[in-house]
C-alpha cells in the first residue's frame, strides 16, 4: 500500500472553482466513507479548508487510485470531472509526505507561515478517527505532520513571515495603517462562530475595537464566544461583546465599522443591496455604484487636441468608452479597451489604423450621434470637425502607410472616492458577501480572491529556507520509519516460526528422553532458544536497517522467500497490529 493525495488549492485553481468545489460537513463524511469503500483505497482522510481540498488515501494501485479519488472529488463537490481535472494536483509516496509536512508548516498557505493550518489538520485527523477511515499509515502521517509543524514554529522564525488569514485580511483593509491604530475604537460585527470566526473576534479584540457583535445561526455558540471575550475584560483586551440572532445582522450592519463573515452557508449572507442599505446616508451622499468608465479630466500629452475632446480649462475631458453600445463601429473595441484615455471618437482609438479602416471609421463618426455619446455637462462634440480631423490623418497615411502611433497620454487620475465607512472581510468559501459590493461607494471589501492576489507579492522570511530543510529531514525520517515498519510483520512471522520450531524440538526431546528432570529440561530449552535468537539477531537487525533505506521494500520479500514464510501468517500479524492501532486511536477520539 502507498500514500496518495489528490487535491486542489489556491495555488492550482481559481477562487471561482474552489468556491464551487467546497464541501459541507455531511459531504465530507460521505466522501470519506465512499473513498474507503472504493477498491484501491484502504484508508482515507480529508483536509478541507477555505483555500484547499485534499483527499489522502492509502492505495494499492497508483493509476486506479488517482482515477477513483478524482472521480469521487468531482461527484461530491458537484464540479464536473472535465472541469475539475485541470486544477487537480497529485502527490505520491514521499512527495505526498513532503506536501503534507509543507502544508503543516504553513509553506503552502495563502499567507506563508500561518499556524492555523495545524488546527485544521488536527480536526481532519479527529474526523477520520471518528469515522474509522484512518488506519496506521494516515494516523502516523497526520500525527507526525502536527509534530513537524510545531517544530517549524518553535525552532525557526517562520511566525515572523506568517500570520493568520484574519490578520492578513485586516492589514489589507487598513491599507498601510497599523491594524491596532486603524481598528482602535471601532465597532465590529462577526458573522459566524466557528474556529475562523472565533479567531477573527479574538484578533479584533486584541486590535482594540470597542465592541464586537457575534451573529450566528446557533445562538448558543454565539453566546459562548461573546462570554469568552467578555471574561477576558481587564486582561490583554478591553472590549464589550454581545451575541445577536442572524436576523439582526441588517440592523447591526448599520452600526458597524468592520464586519467579518465566515459561515458555512451555501448562499450569500450579505447581498450588495443589504450592504448598500446599511451604509446609506453614512457616506455624505447617495451610495451609488461606482462607474469605472466615467473618467475624470486628464491632461493630454502633446500640444494637439482633437475635436473629440471637450476642453475644460487646461484639461481635456474624453468621451467615455461605450463598448457594446455603439453599433456598426468598424473599430476593434476589444483591442483598445482599457487604454488610458480611450475614446471611440478620439485619435487614441485610430492610432495605427490602416487607411481603409480609418476611412470606414471616419464615415461612421460622421454619421454618428456624437452628442448622445458626450459626457454629461461637457461641450457638445462636433462630428464634422471630428471627421475633418480624421480626413487629415488619412492624407498622412498616403505618405507613411499607417497612422503613426501617438505618444501615450499621461495616466488617468482615479476618480476620488469617499473614505470607506464600512470595511468588510469575507473569509468564507463559498463566499458570504456579494462580490458586487466592490463597486459600492463608502465600502471596502477584502475576500479570499483579493487576499490570494495580495499574498502573491508578499515577501517571504529568511526562515522559510530553514523550515524547508526541516521538512526534508522529517520526510526522510518518516519514510525510513515507514519502510522499517513495513518489514516488521515479516520479522515477527520469522521469529514466531523459529519459536514454534524450538517448541516442537523440545517436545520431541521430551519423548525421547522422558527421564530428564525439570532443571535439565529447562537448561536445554534455554540453550536451544539462545542459539536460535543469536542466529536470527544479526540478520533481523540488519534487514530492518536495510529496509529503512530507499529501495529497501524488497528485503521483506527476500526474507519471506529465504525462510519460506507463510504469506497468510505475515498478513495476520499486519492485521493484528492495525487492529491494535485502531483501538488506541478510538480511545484517543
Three-state helix/strand/coil letters over 522-570: HHHHHHHHHHHHHHHHHHHHHHHHHHHCCCCCHHHHHHHHHCCCCHHHH
Average pLDDT over all residues of the chain: 78
114 marked as part of a ligand binding site: yes
Please state, in angstroms and rounded to a whole number, the distance separating the CA atoms of residues 520 and 526: 10
Give per-residue pLDDT as tens, 117-172: 999 999 999 999 999 999 989 999 999 999 999 999 999 888 765 567 888 899 99
**Is a pLDDT exceeding 50 seen at residue 533?**
yes
194 marked as part of a ligand binding site: yes
Please state, in angstroms and rounded to a whole number, the distance separating the CA atoms of residues 408 and 387: 22
**Is a pLDDT exceeding 60 seen at residue 405?**
no
**Nearest partner of 316 among 298, 302, 303, judged by Cα:** 298
Give per-residue pLDDT as tens, 49-94: 888 999 999 998 899 999 999 999 999 998 999 999 999 999 999 9
302 marked as part of a ligand binding site: no
For the residues 493-497, what does the mean pLDDT come to? 82
pLDDT: is 547 or 108 the higher one?
108
Q: Given pLDDT bands bounded at 50, 70 and 90, which one contains residue 315?
A: very low
Q: Determine the pLDDT at residue 295.
A: 38
pLDDT: is 305 or 270 the higher one?
270
116 marked as part of a ligand binding site: yes
Cα 444–449–455 angle (5° rounding)? 95
For the residues 397-423, what does the mean pLDDT come to? 63
Would you say 279 and 285 are in contact if contact means Cβ atoms under 8 Å apart? Answer: no
Give per-residue pLDDT as tens, 237-263: 678 999 999 999 999 999 999 999 999
Single out the catalytic residue among 50, 105, 262, 329. Answer: 50
Q: Determine the pLDDT at residue 581.
A: 55
Please state, in angstroms and rounded to a whole number, the distance separating the CA atoms of residues 221 and 197: 11
Q: Given pLDDT bands bounded at 50, 70 and 90, which one contains residue 288?
A: low
Taking the model in full, what pTM does it have? 0.60
For the residues 402-424, what does the mean pLDDT come to? 65
Give per-residue pLDDT as tens, 344-358: 444 444 555 555 665
Q: Half-sphere exposure of residue 29, counting CA atoms within 13 Å on the CB side?
A: 8
Give per-residue pLDDT as tens, 11-55: 899 888 998 999 988 999 999 999 999 889 999 999 998 889 999
**Is a pLDDT exceeding 70 seen at residue 193?**
yes
What does each C-alpha distance from 513 to 506, 507, 523 come to in angstroms? 10, 10, 14
- Strand-pairing partners, residue 318, are 309
Would you say 113 and 159 are in contact if contact means Cβ atoms under 8 Å apart? Answer: yes
192 marked as part of a ligand binding site: yes
**Nearest partner of 412 among 476, 478, 338, 477, judged by Cα:** 338
Q: Within 308-367, where are the H helices?
A: 333-336, 347-350, 355-367
Is 50 designated active site? Answer: yes
Lowest mean pLDDT among 173-187, 285-299, 481-495: 285-299
Q: Determine the pLDDT at residue 412.
A: 56
State phi, psi for 511 to the nearest 5 degrees.
-70, -35
Amino acid at each position: 500500500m502507498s500514500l496518495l493525495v489528490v487535491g486542489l488549492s489556491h495555488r492550482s485553481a481559481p477562487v471561482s472553482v474552489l468556491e464551487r468545489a467546497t464541501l459541507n460537513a455531511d459531504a465530507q463524511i460521505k466522501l470519506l466513507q465512499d473513498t474507503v469503500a472504493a477498491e484501491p483505497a484502504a484508508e482515507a482522510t480529508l483536509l478541507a479548508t477555505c483555500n484547499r481540498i485534499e483527499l489522502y488515501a492509502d492505495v494499492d494501485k497508483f493509476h486506479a487510485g488517482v482515477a477513483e479519488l478524482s472521480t469521487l472529488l468531482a461527484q461530491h463537490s458537484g464540479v464536473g470531472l472535465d472541469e475539475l481535472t485541470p486544477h487537480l494536483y497529485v502527490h505520491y509516496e514521499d512527495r505526498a509526505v513532503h506536501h503534507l509536512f509543507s502544508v503543516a508548516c504553513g509553506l503552502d498557505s495563502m499567507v506563508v507561515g500561518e499556524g492555523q493550518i495545524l488546527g485544521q489538520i488536527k480536526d481532519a485527523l479527529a474526523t477520520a478517527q471518528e469515522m474509522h477511515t484512518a488506519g496506521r499509515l494516515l494516523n502516523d502521517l497526520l500525527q507526525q505532520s502536527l509534530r513537524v509543524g510545531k517544530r517549524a514554529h518553535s525552532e525557526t522564525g517562520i511566525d515572523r513571515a506568517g500570520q493568520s488569514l484574519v490578520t492578513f485580511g485586516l492589514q489589507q483593509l487598513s491599507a498601510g495603517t497599523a491594524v491596532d491604530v486603524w481598528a482602535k475604537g471601532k465597532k465590529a460585527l462577526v458573522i459566524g462562530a466557528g474556529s475562523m470566526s472565533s479567531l477573527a473576534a479574538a484578533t479584533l479584540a486584541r486590535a482594540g475595537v470597542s465592541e464586537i457583535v457575534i451573529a450566528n445561526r446557533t445562538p448558543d455558540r454565539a453566546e459562548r464566544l461573546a462570554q469568552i471575550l467578555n471574561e477576558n475584560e481587564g486582561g490583554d483586551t478591553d472590549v464589550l461583546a454581545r451575541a445577536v440572532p442572524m436576523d439582526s445582522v441588517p440592523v447591526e450592519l448599520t452600526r458597524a465599522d468592520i464586519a467579518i463573515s465566515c459561515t458555512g452557508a451555501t448562499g450569500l449572507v450579505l447581498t450588495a443591496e443589504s450592504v448598500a442599505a446599511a451604509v446609506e446616508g453614512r457616506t455624505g451622499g447617495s451610495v451609488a455604484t461606482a462607474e469605472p468608465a466615467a473618467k475624470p479630466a486628464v491632461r493630454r500629452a502633446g500640444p494637439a487636441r482633437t475635436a473629440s475632446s471637450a476642453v475644460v480649462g487646461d484639461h481635456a475631458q474624453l468621451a467615455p468608452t461605450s463598448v457594446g453600445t455603439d453599433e456598426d463601429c468598424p473599430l476593434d473595441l476589444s483591442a483598445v479597451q482599457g487604454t488610458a484615455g480611450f475614446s471611440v471618437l478620439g485619435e487614441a482609438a485610430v492610432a495605427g489604423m490602416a487607411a481603409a479602416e480609418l476611412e470606414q471609421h471616419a464615415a461612421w463618426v460622421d454619421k454618428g450621434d456624437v452628442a448622445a455619446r458626450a459626457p454629461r455637462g461637457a461641450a457638445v462634440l462636433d462630428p464634422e470637425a471630428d471627421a475633418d480631423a480624421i480626413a487629415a490623418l488619412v492624407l498622412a497615411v498616403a505618405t507613411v502607410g499607417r497612422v503613426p502611433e501617438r505618444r501615450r497620454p499621461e495616466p488617468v487620475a482615479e476618480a476620488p472616492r469617499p473614505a470607506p465607512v464600512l470595511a468588510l472581510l469575507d473569509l468564507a468559501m463559498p463566499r458570504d458577501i456579494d462580490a458586487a459590493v466592490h463597486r459600492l461607494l463608502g465600502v471596502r471589501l477584502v475576500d479570499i480572491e483579493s487576499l490570494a492576489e495580495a499574498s502573491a507579492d508578499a515577501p517571504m522570511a529568511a526562515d522559510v529556507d530553514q523550515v524547508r530543510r526541516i521538512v526534508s529531514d522529517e520526510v526522510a525520517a518518516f519514510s525510513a520509519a515507514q519502510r522499517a515498519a513495513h518489514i516488521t510483520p515479516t520479522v515477527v512471522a520469522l521469529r514466531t516460526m523459529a519459536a514454534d520450531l524450538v517448541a516442537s524440538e523440545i517436545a520431541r526431546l521430551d519423548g525421547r528422553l522422558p527421564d530428564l528432570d525439570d532443571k535439565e529440561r529447562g537448561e536445554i530449552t534455554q540453550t536451544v532458544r539462545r542459539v536460535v535468537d543469536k542466529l536470527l539477531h544479526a540478520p533481523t537487525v540488519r534487514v530492518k536497517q536495510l529496509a529503512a533505506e530507499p529501495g529497501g521494500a524488497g528485503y521483506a520479500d527476500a526474507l519471506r522467500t529465504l525462510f519460506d514464510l507463510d504469506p497468510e501468517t505475515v498478513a495476520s500479524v499486519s492485521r493484528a497490529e492495525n487492529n491494535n492501532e485502531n483501538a488506541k486511536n478510538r480511545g484517543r477520539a
